[in-house]
Amino acid sequence: MSPAEVLQRAIQTARAGRRVEARNLLLKIVEVDPRNEIAWMWLSGLVDTLEDRIIACENVLTINPDNHNVRTYLAKLQQQLRYSVKINIDEAVGLYNQAKAHADQNEINDAIRLANQALEKNENLKEAWLLIGRISPDIDQQITALQKALKLDPSNPEITANLKELRYLKANPMKVATRLEQLGKFDEALTIYHGLAVKTKDSREFDNIYRQIVRIEELQKEKIRFVAPTSSITRLTFAWPSLYFSLALIQVGLNPFKHSSYYLWLGLPLVFVGGYLLSMAEVRSSHIVWQKLFNEHEDGSPFARLITAATGWFLIIVPHLLLVIDSLNRLQNFDIPLPPF
């Protein structure tokens, strides 16, 4: 059968209402003869999606730019496409907002389901990928989501850093368990520890995992409340400044206005920073400081902690030393009063 006969048959089949059969015949024709204008024209009415119709029309116009009917039809199709895309984007944003509200209320499963629905409407919605990357309990899903987000925004350093961290955590499941523990998700941490205990062949590592399991189970048994690392850091930050404040107060005769020694009070913010660094070095948590200063993904290596603690101690000790020097200066110029008796 010649191409012209096949085309004729396809047109008759289409007129008879057998669209799929006609479309298959027309696709065979354009495969052999991609510049067959009539075949593309018929195809533009037989393909299923709006996008395919537009492609067919564009092919007709490439072959024959003077085909005004098809040009008008293409304009209509493009308008329809814009409208449907806009609807999809609006729906996707609506679903994303719902997902975010669920995530804020810690309803993770609902949030992920809605975010996925949003992405079905518009897979270019970066925020939805980021949300999944942030909240999903499945590390593989998190990595995939962040990869998609990075494709949409390749120059975003935050996504790159988060992705790097997640890949690191995937390679170090013990860290994931520790991280979950820091977030107060003891059950999930236990699941990971149990999984690791089953897999490990090293007896020392098994002992370590077993200790972690026993520790968490005891915490759960005793119903110990979870205290977020941030809250512990904040609380402990105030320990040393409260001492320095009391000492400085007594140094100025309990009256900073009468016996002004402003340099003593300048020490207070230093002690605060020192106290903060010291408590940060003590409380294990994944802190931005570890990332920014030491380029580390987890909760601070022993080296990073040591440096942070040493800096903290330095900032605490120096103002206290200045206080001692001030006291010694005063003692040097001090006329000892006679006994009252």
Partner 1 sequence: MLPLNDTEPNRYSFFPIMTVTIIIVNCIAFYVEMFVIGENYWSFFMKYATTPRLILNAQGGGALSNVTAMFLHGGLFHLLGNMLALWVFGRRVEDACGSWRFLAFYLLAGTWAHILFVVVQYDSRIPGIGASGAVFGLMGAYLLLYPSGRIRTLVFVSIVPIWPRIRAIWIVLYFVGVQIIPAIDILLRKADYSINHWAHLGGFFSAVFILLFVRPEAFARYLSDTLV
Tell me the closest approach of the beta carbon of residue 229 to partner 1, in angstroms.
8
Give the H/E segment covering residue 53. Answer: helix 50-63
Stretch that binds partner 1, among 90-98, 160-168, 197-205, 223-231 (CB under 8 A): 223-231
Is residue 302 part of the contact set for partner 1 (CB under 8 A)?
A: no
Report if residue 311 touches partner 1, rule: CB under 8 A.
no
Q: 244-283 mask for partner 1 (x: CB under 8 A)?
A: --xxxxxxxxxx--xx----------------------xx
Distance in Å, CB of 290 to partner 1, minimum = 18
Q: Could you say whether residue 198 binds partner 1 (CB under 8 A)?
A: no
Q: What is the CA radius of gyration of the chain?
A: 35
The least distance separating partner 1 from the CB of residue 278, rounded to whole angstroms, comes to 9
Among residues 223, 257, 262, 288, the one that binds partner 1 under rule CB under 8 A:
223
What are phi and psi for residue 17, nearest 5 degrees?
Answer: 95, 5
CA dist., res. 69 & res. 225, Å (int): 73
Give the nearer residue to partner 1 in terms of CB position, either 17 or 339: 339
Output the CA torsion sign for 46, 87, 120, 157.
positive
d(CA 281, CA 241): 17
Could you tell me the two tokens for 30?
């354009």
Residue with structure tokens 């510049």? 35
Of these, 4, 32, 227, 293, which contacts partner 1 (CB under 8 A)?
A: 227
Closest CB to partner 1 among 76 and 235? 235
Residue choice 55, 161, 236, 307 for contact with partner 1 (CB under 8 A): 236
Task: Pick the binder of partner 1 from 26, 118, 281, 323 (CB under 8 A).
Answer: 323
Residue 163's CB is within 10 A of a number of other CB atoms, namely 19
Q: Is 130 in the site for partner 1 (CB under 8 A)?
A: no
# binding residues, partner 1 (CB under 8 A)? 41
Distance CA 77, CA 60 (A): 14
Closer CB to partner 1, residue 11 or residue 213? 213
3-state secondary structure of 207: helix
Angstrom distance (rounded) from CA 272 to CA 281: 14
Three-state DSSP state, 47: coil
Q: What is the spatial distance between Cα 236 and Cα 238, in angstroms, rounded to a whole number? A: 5
Does 151 sit near partner 1 (CB under 8 A)? Answer: no
Contacts of 327 (CB under 8 A, 6+ apart): 251
CA atoms within 13 Å, Cβ hemisphere of 291: 14
Least distance from partner 1 to the Cβ atom of residue 253, Å: 4
**211 binds partner 1, rule: CB under 8 A:** no
Establish if 327 lies at the interface with partner 1 (CB under 8 A).
yes
Residues that bind partner 1 (CB under 8 A): 222-227, 229, 232, 235-236, 238-240, 242-243, 246-255, 258-259, 282-283, 323-324, 326-328, 330-331, 334, 336-337, 339-340
